Amino acid sequence: VATSRGPSIRAIPSLSFSGVGLVELLSDSQREMLRSMATMQQFTRRSVIFKAGAPADAIFIIAEGVVKSYRDLPSGRRRIAAFLFARDMCGLAKGGQYVNTAQAITPVSVYRLNVSTLAEAFRRDSELELRFLCKVVHELREAQHHTIIVTHRRATARVAMLLHMLERGAEQTGDAGVPIPMTRSDIADYLGLSLEAVVRASRRLERQGILAFPDRHHAKVLDRQRFDALIHSS
């Protein structure tokens, strides 16, 4: 598979005027170089990749699996900042510490890159650095989009937007529809809703014939028109 050639990161470039879709940012030789610098790690479902507050000595590139990046607030609430998939990066730091906790939702394998080694590589290859800059800019746009999603009042619209994200990120859509790897509770923490509100919104979308949930971990779009209307109703 693609991962055998080394770490891969994907983003929509800020500048390139040709093609606005997701593209591979790294050249084959850059991936080869990064692979030689990286160590691979495996994580089982639910295991923590790094904890908020721990010394941030590495960044991670996901080779396989799904990860949630979250912060637990003093109130006991949990806010999920992002769901991360293969070819995404994680390990956002501030003053030498991770700001979020990263936890595996499915079995996960990652490339672990030591930050000082990476900084050294940037010094030698400014083109490589530009690719990472591009990826971070991409994540910044995603974070702004996340803010727009959670400021939407209607729970149905928020749920639809999440499913839209999953649909776009999915490698392939099976006959059962889009896979939903995370729990309803995770979705609630991501969308800034209560668990019950997520359930009720899902049911409403189903009742309205816009979506079907064949099982808890799959969703299928039945009425594309109204689905898109919800997403762009922001």
Q: Does 205 bind a copy of itself (CB under 8 A)?
A: no
| Strands 78-84 and 10-11, bridge-based pairing | unpaired
Q: Does 1 bind a copy of itself (CB under 8 A)?
A: no
Binding-residue total with DNA (CB under 7 A): 21
Q: Does 156 bind DNA (CB under 7 A)?
A: yes
- Interatomic CA distance for residues 158 and 164, integer angstroms: 10
Closest alpha carbon to 55 in 98, 11, 110, 112 = 98
Q: Does 24 bind a copy of itself (CB under 8 A)?
A: no
Q: Does 192 bind a copy of itself (CB under 8 A)?
A: yes
- Interatomic CA distance for residues 81 and 59, integer angstroms: 17
Q: Is 113 in contact with 173 (CB distance < 8 Å)? A: no
Q: From the CB of 20, what's the least distance to DNA, in Å?
A: 31
The correct pick among 71, 200, 204, 217 for binding a copy of itself (CB under 8 A) is 71
The correct pick among 41, 64, 122, 199 for binding a copy of itself (CB under 8 A) is 122
Which residues are 84's β-sheet partners? 67
The smaller minimum CB distance to a copy of itself, of residues 94 and 207, is found at: 94
| SS3 assignment, position 56 | coil
Structure tokens at 152: 């939407």
- The residues, ordered by sequence, that sit 6+ positions from 71 with a Cβ below 8 Å of its Cβ are 52, 78, 79, 81, 99, 100, 101
| SS3 assignment, position 102 | strand
Please give the C-alpha separations between residue 37 and each of 21, 44, 59, 197, in angstroms, as whole numbers.
Answer: 29, 23, 12, 45
Give the x-and-dash track for 189-218 against DNA (CB under 7 A).
---xxxxxx-xxxxx---------x-xx--
The correct pick among 44, 116, 117, 185 for binding DNA (CB under 7 A) is 185
Query: Which of the ranges 26-34, 75-83, 101-109, 196-204 carries the binding residues for a copy of itself, by CB under 8 A?
Result: 75-83
Q: From the CB of 61, what's the least distance to a copy of itself, in Å?
A: 16
The correct pick among 47, 48, 148, 203 for binding a copy of itself (CB under 8 A) is 148
The correct pick among 2, 5, 16, 117 for binding a copy of itself (CB under 8 A) is 16
Closest alpha carbon to 140 in 9, 8, 14 = 14
Neighbours of 169 (CB within 10 A): 17
Q: Does 177 bind DNA (CB under 7 A)?
A: no
DSSP string, 183-196: -HHHHHHHHT--HH
Where does this chain bind DNA (CB under 7 A)? 153-156, 183-185, 192-197, 199-203, 213, 215-216
Where does this chain bind a copy of itself (CB under 8 A)? 12-17, 19-20, 56, 71, 73-75, 77, 79, 81, 92-96, 99-100, 115, 119, 122-123, 126-127, 129-130, 132-133, 136-137, 139-141, 143-144, 146-148, 150-151, 192, 232-234
